[in-house]
Structure 1
Amino acid sequence: MNGKILLADTTLRDGEQAPGVFFSPRQKVQIVKLLAQCGIKEIEAGTPSSCKTEMEAFHKIMSLGLKVRIVAWGRMTNEDLQAVKSSRVATVNLSIPLSDIQISTKLRTNRKQVLEKIKEYVGKAREMGLEVALGGEDSSRAEEDFLVEAIEVAKQEGAFRFRYADTVGILDPLRTYQTLSRLKKWTSFPLEFHGHDDFGMATANSIAAWRAGVASISATLCGLGERAGNGALEEIAFFLALRKNVDVGIDLKGLFSLCLLTSRLSKRKIPPWKSIIGEEIFLHESGIHVDGILKNPRNYEPFNPSIIGRKHRFTLGKHSGRKSVLWTYQKLGITLSEQKAKDILHKIKNFTATKKRPPSKEELFQFLTENFPHSSNIGT
């Protein structure tokens, strides 16, 4: 396991591949600046060969002069390589499929020709003065001995890292750990893990990759990406920093704020229950939980909400208890007797069962009267 790890952002490349998402050059510059301010040291900013606006974005980003490694993504073609060079970046992730299914059906070629292409294009990129990372597309469905062959060819040609990509999100944490641990034994080449979330495993797999000793993890803000998305950068960063005391070198509060901005710019709403960044992750209704929080917040808080500039909150509903009612009315400047709190709790449960929402401030005042209407009979 690593006491320190590089967390690389690919929101502007793989994240932007989410259907309907488009970041303008100005927005890309804004996100890159904020990523750098948060402490992110490597940013995969896009695919230069994709369109003119992408090239414009790269030129604007490179003109910032940030002390951050800006990476371009490209295929192993002359067109992509020339576009990368024109983008003014110093580093490229050259990607090629390594699984037999993609080699045979997507590339319509064979393993030998793939190795020859790696040798050719890594060599060309190095001759152009570029730092080269080999991107192993669909590594999780590739034969491990072939991965080692590909790594060795790239290493001989001067590449500096290999990206192990779980392109269709089929891994689980145990297999991730076992596979990457074996690769670590078979090659001294630095490894990067890049996970997709098709089975909801991307963050867990990224943590397993860290345990296996990879040099870096590639992820996106909010887990943005095609299909089910990618590993969520904020989830990985928060877990490693707060639960494993890993030096991720990232301002967590700044990263949280950047996630909210990315959600707005991408027009992708954050579910209220989304880990780390969801609006309701510190909102409690259960009477047992509220009682526990009031006694000691650590009873039901995995991390201090002040880290992201929030506070724990309570809401009233079907699962509320007497303590929740007493606390809520105390916040309104009203001290209730124990019996009055029980009576009002009964009204609240009836109300929320009928209305399917918590009561408003005005309705809470109305509950103080004995004749407030209710239409169901839920016990306390």
Structure 2
Amino acid sequence: MQLNDVTLREGDQMPGREYTAEQKIECVRALDNLGVPFVQPAFPATGEKDRTVVAELSGTTDAEIIALARALERDIDAAVDASADVVETFVSVSDRHLEHLLGMSREEMLAMLAEAVEYITDRGVTPHVTLADAFRTDHEALIEVFETIPNVPFVTLADSVGARTPATVSSSLDRLSDDVDFSRVGVHFHDDMGCGTANALTAYHAGVQKADVSVASLGERAGNSSLEEVIVACAVDLGDDLGIETDELVPVCRNVLETLGEEYGGRKAILGEAISEHESGIHTAAMLSDPATLEPFDPAAFGGERRLVFGKATGNDGARKLLERAGVETDDETLSSFKSTLAECGPFDLDEALTLATREFGD
């Protein structure tokens, strides 16, 4: 499965955000160095800023730069004139969206989509298509869309309002696989019910070949499938790094967020400092012997760091292992004294605790 990063386009649409062209360009270059194959940074029809972003990046990245466009010639012209590698046009396909967003019949929508794809192709650019509200659209209606645009390399099914869970995503894709070549299928999920990453992983198992993701789930409302969570889950649980430079994942994602002025919590999966921090006496003692005892992965494998904390919570086993690692002969008196010093003067990280053990209790 290939990843399409939508952080900069989706994030810029969040209330109160207005990323600059310079911020977007810097972040795209970081994501490109990470090995993300597709990046969708802009919607050129919205203004000069997004046209500048696409134009500045064109021809300078290994990633294909995708520009978003409505199925309108003026939107497509803005994307093509900015030299986008791919123009991704989108239409609504559910009955509800056709009535309340587009105000047109299904036949009219299909004609508009076909004309848009033909126009993109005639202008010499690769077309991709996103089908809004696809997971609340009848199966036969989806098949009709795929048949209408048979030569589009990727058609992305969007769960536009985050209304689906892994079970329903799985059943929908399983049924669709009988009628559609999944080498053409992408997915776009929102995290309104907390299922964005899980749904993307469900699509991976179904054989879908492209997934939209965003750093720290940045995006409208609750955001999108998390880039870092999808990558780590695939690498750790499935042995597939998705072609990403995984040892740079955490620092690149943190740098992107810093560049955009976006915050993330200390307990944010993958990125938060607290997720690899351990203080419980039982935990630290075990992790001094074998960190995998209580961690799903070595944070260093993704450019993160582990922090063991020693202080009041440190028990006999942890204190003894620290002293042994520091080369200090351990008896009951030394052990008790070391524990008291940790409790009174701590907390310490591992290096500080080892230095203390050597300085205060070594020969």
* Same-fold call, TM cutoff 0.5: yes
Distance 1:95 1:340, change over 3 A: same
Matches within 5 A, 1:115-194: 115-155=110-150, 158-188=151-181, 190-194=184-188
| Match among 71, 77, 81 for residue 72 of structure 2 | 77
CA distance in 1, matches of 2:148, 2:124: 18
Equivalence for 1:264: 258
Q: Match of 1:197?
A: 191
**Separation (CA, whole Å) in 1 of partners of 2:180 and 2:285:** 53
Flag the 1:40–1:326 CA change in 2: closer, same or farther, 3 A.
same
Count of residues in correspondence between the two structures: 352
Instruction: State the Cα deviation string for residues 243-270 of structure 1 (Å, max 9, x = none).
Output: 2112511101222211111111222212
Residue 148 of structure 1 aligns to a residue whose secondary structure is helix
Q: Percent identity?
A: 27
Distance 1:16 1:86, change over 3 A: same
State the shift of 1:31 in Å.
1.7
Residue aligning to 1:45 = 41
Q: Given that residues 234 and 255 in structure 1 are in contact (C-alpha distance below 8 angstroms), is that contact kept between their aligned partners in structure 2?
A: yes
| Counterpart selection for 1:246 from 240, 249, 267 | 240
CA distance in 2, matches of 1:210, 1:262: 25
Give the superposition deviation at 1:105. Answer: 0.9
CA shift at 1:318, angstroms? Answer: 7.3
TM-score (norm 2): 0.87
Deviation at 1:308, TM superposition (A): 3.1
Matching of residue 104 in structure 1 with residue 96 in structure 2:
no
Q: Please report how far the alpha carbon of residue 345 of structure 1 lies from its aligned counterpart in structure 2 after TM superposition.
A: 6.3
Root-mean-square deviation (Å): 2.9
> Structure 1 pair 241/317, CA: closer, same or farther in 2 (3 Å)?
same
State how far apart, in whole Å, the 2-side matches of 1:86 and 1:94 are.
15
Matching of residue 274 in structure 1 with residue 255 in structure 2: no
1:326-365: CA deviations, max 9, x gaps?
567889999886467668868988x9xxxxxx7579xx9x
What SS does the aligned partner of 2:3 have?
strand
Please report how far the alpha carbon of residue 110 of structure 1 lies from its aligned counterpart in structure 2 after TM superposition: 2.3
CA deviations 1:3-33 (Å, max 9, x no partner) are xx21121112123323333332222222222
**Contact in 1 for aligned 2:4/2:212 (Cα 8 Å):** yes
2:89/2:129 contact within 8 Å kept: yes
Aligned to 2:358: none
Task: Please give the alpha-carbon distance, in whole angstroms, between the structure 1 residues aligned to 2:115 and 2:303.
Answer: 50
Distance 2:267 2:321 in 1: 24
In 1, Cα distance between the equivalents of 2:226 and 2:68? 19
Q: Which residue of the other structure, out of 290, 299, 310, is the alignment partner of 2:284? A: 290
Question: 1:63 & 1:25 partners in 2: Cα distance?
Answer: 17
Q: Quick check: 2:58–2:85 contact (8 Å CA) kept in 1?
A: no
Indicate which of 26, 31, 48 corresponds to 2:27. Answer: 31
Distance (whole Å) between structure 1 residues aligned to residue 246 and residue 166 of structure 2: 24
Correspondence list, 1:293-308, <5 A: 293-308=287-302
Q: How many angstroms apart in 2 are the aligned matches of 1:246 and 1:216? A: 14
The CA deviation string for residues 75-118 of structure 1, in whole angstroms up to 9 with x for no partner, is 11222112112111131111111122111111122222211211
Kindly indicate whether residue 213 of structure 2 is the aligned counterpart of residue 219 of structure 1: yes
Provide structure 2 residue ranges, at least 5 long, that are not aligned to the other structure. Answer: 354-363
- Distance (whole Å) between structure 2 residues aligned to residue 328 and residue 195 of structure 1: 46
Amino acid at match of 1:81: I
- Give the structure with the larger helix fraction: 2
Partner letter of residue 38 of structure 2?
A: E
Distance 1:218 1:322, change over 3 A: same
